């Protein structure tokens, strides 16, 4: 016989891919005010591109 599972609240998150960090703090506040529980920041650069940019 299966044991009942405790109900948990549904939580929502969002992942952003900003073109720059200018104004990012305001964007984070907007996400929080919109009721999201989690905020993720995606990284669009792969390892080789990151190495190339840091080598300058």
pTM, to two decimals? 0.55
Q: What's the Cα-to-Cα distance from 26 to each of 1, 15, 35, rounded to whole Å?
A: 50, 15, 15
Q: What is the pLDDT along the chain (56 residues), one digit of tens a residue?
A: 677 777 778 788 999 888 888 888 999 999 999 999 999 988 766 656 555 566 65
Domain boundaries, the chain: 25-55
For residue 36, what pLDDT is reported? 93
DSSP summary character for residue 55 = H
């Amino acid at each position: 016989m299966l044991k009942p599972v405790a109900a948990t609240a549904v939580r929502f998150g969002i992942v952003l891919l900003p073109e720059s960090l200018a104004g990012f703090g305001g964007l984070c506040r907007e996400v929080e005010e919109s009721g999201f529980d989690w905020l993720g920041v995606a990284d669009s650069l792969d390892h080789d591109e990151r190495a190339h940019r840091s080598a300058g």
